[in-house]
Structure 1
Amino acid sequence: MSAPPVATMGLAALRQVGRLCSLGLDVLRLSLKPPYQFREFIQQCWFIVRVSILPAALVAIPFGAVIALQLGSLTQQIGAQSFTGSASVLAVIQQASPLITALLIAGAGGSAVCADLGSRTIREEIDAMRALGVSPIHRLVVPRVHAAIVIAVLLNGMVSVVGVLGGYFFNVIMQDGTPGAYLASFSALAQLPDLWISEIKAVLFGFIAGVVAAFRGLNPGGGPKGVGDAVNQSVVITFLLLFFLNFILTTIYLQIVPPKAL
């Protein structure tokens, strides 16, 4: 008697999750194994920067502006305009910057990584590497995941700065905010762990984006259509994992790190 369709789909999903986790562990295990593919790492870093730096900057400006304008309107209604700067800046640094960075890396860089590895897979280049005793994970996946992590950290810093400046500009210009109050409230409530949690999120998000893109690229369906489907699936899966992980990290951070007292 065959298993019910729901049970079969559940088992298939669990197998895929296990294979994805196994690939992530393999990447960690092979990260320090010599020889390191430094040239491939530099090329992937440059590629990810080239396709994501301008969109990241352009997205960060309206994102920071929308947060500042929304919080500015709210604080004006309750008579707490002096806290606009701290609320908007902390929202940009803790939440918006790592998410924007990871989504752009997954959507631009991750999709390209998935398409590249998927095309190599259907052309049987990956099988040829395994036949020659070359690990495709060590040779191709590890430098791409490392590049996604490094660029995620760097872009996260840039997005934070651009988003904060965008929020400052629109709050001061469009809502007649006081520049001194905006900066004073930020410096009064912000603390160094706020920046650390942002960078930790960027590292984890970059790792997830790189591993998921590589996993779907190494396991596409048949033919070019399978590669296209794998690219779409990698982006969707990465988005879901990032938002779920962001919720977990934010919850843990707010429980561990107490807010700064005025």
Structure 2
Amino acid sequence: MVRRPRQRPRPAVASAGPRPAPRDAAVTAPLTRALTPVGRLFSLAADVVVSAFKPPFQLREYIEQTWFVTKVSALPTALFTIPFGATIALLLGELTRQFGAQSQTGAGSVLAIVQQAAPIVTALLISGAGGSAVCADLGARTIREEIAAMEVLGISPIQRLVVPRVLAMATTALVLNGLATVVGVAGGYFFNVIVQGGTPGAYIAAFSSIAQVSDILVSELKAVLFGFTAGIVAAYRGLNPPPGPKGVGDAVNQSVVISFVLVFFLNLVLTTLYLDLVPPKGS
């Protein structure tokens, strides 16, 4: 019987530790972490739009939230719009006086208030007053696990809680934008005519000669989109707060800051599209 030679065991190779991550993964990981909340935010917005058309609609909750947002935002919006309108009217009045076109002060100041100042002031006040309250409410419900309990019971928190609040903020923005427009135009008229000694008839005639219905429509469209955006951001941060009461406070601050940034970005996009697509009056 022929014996086979005995094989010696190979020496064990020491482990070199975990392999380094590929360079592509190291580059894309921060980008993925940054874009994930953006995707979730858009996903929440799509869910809110779809759930808004699904029965049953929470009419009572919608009315209560609309009244609450209006109550906390109406007076600050009116008070904030007065200095905006006054500043615009005073600045344009001084500039037009230097160029000998003081009769056009009304056109420039009123258009600036209608298209820019009124919807932006409305969005900022709704984000700061109504949006922070919505975020705090949903955040408190989340850390108390009420949202999780609703999901276990088969109740959609988006349809039950988020949709009425987001629609309430969009509706309130639409109404308060009209209030801000009236107050801003009146404030600009007062400071231009009384303080700078402008002509009342020239102020109104200049505005009516260059303004058109589309200016009001784009202002209302901006207000609705700004209110909807502020509501979505507040709801997203409220449903995804860091742990603990301090996390809810941080989520409220983040929701307000993010809403401000998105509002100014949307305003830039909408203004650019409006100026490119809608011809001015008389052209």
Alignment TM-score > 0.5, same fold:
yes
TM-score range, shorter chain: over 0.9
Deviation at residue 67 of structure 1 after TM alignment: 0.3
Distance in 1 (CA, whole Å) between partners of 2:187 and 2:202 is 16
Percent identical residues = 66
Deviation at residue 10 of structure 1 after TM alignment: 1.9
RMSD after superposition: 1.0
Deviation at residue 12 of structure 1 after TM alignment: 1.2
The 5 Å alignment of 1:6-25 reads: 7-25=28-46
The 5 Å alignment of 1:82-161 reads: 82-161=103-182
For the pair 1:64 / 2:85, whether they are aligned, the reply is yes
Aligned residues: 261
For the pair 1:45 / 2:66, whether they are aligned, the reply is yes
SS, match of residue 87 in structure 1: helix
Q: What's 1:73 paired with?
A: 94
Q: What's 2:270 paired with?
A: 249
Q: Which of 199, 214, 231 is the equivalent residue of 1:210?
A: 231
Distance in 2 (CA, whole Å) between partners of 1:82 and 1:166 is 17
Structure 2 portions without partners, runs of 5+: 1-19
The 5 Å alignment of 1:224-239 reads: 224-239=245-260
Distance in 1 (CA, whole Å) between partners of 2:260 and 2:29 is 25
**Residue 35 of structure 1 aligns to which amino acid in structure 2?**
P
TM-score using structure 1 length:
0.98
Q: Which of 195, 200, 217 is the equivalent residue of 1:196?
A: 217
For the pair 1:168 / 2:185, whether they are aligned, the reply is no
**Which one has a larger percent helix, Structure 1 or Structure 2?**
1
CA deviation string 1:208-259 (max 9, x = no partner) = 0000000000000000111011101111111111101100000000001111
Distance in 2 (CA, whole Å) between partners of 1:50 and 1:9 is 41
Distance in 1 (CA, whole Å) between partners of 2:114 and 2:97 is 22
For the pair 1:184 / 2:205, whether they are aligned, the reply is yes
CA deviation string 1:126-166 (max 9, x = no partner) = 00000000000000000000000100000000000000000
Deviation at residue 32 of structure 1 after TM alignment: 1.3
**Residue 252 of structure 2 aligns to which amino acid in structure 1?**
V
**Residue 53 of structure 2 aligns to which amino acid in structure 1?**
L
Deviation at residue 94 of structure 1 after TM alignment: 0.2
**Residue 146 of structure 1 aligns to which amino acid in structure 2?**
L
Deviation at residue 197 of structure 1 after TM alignment: 0.3
Q: What's 1:54 paired with?
A: 75
**Residue 256 of structure 2 aligns to which amino acid in structure 1?**
V
Q: Which of 43, 53, 58 is the equivalent residue of 1:32?
A: 53
Distance in 2 (CA, whole Å) between partners of 1:128 and 1:69 is 56
TM-score using structure 2 length:
0.91
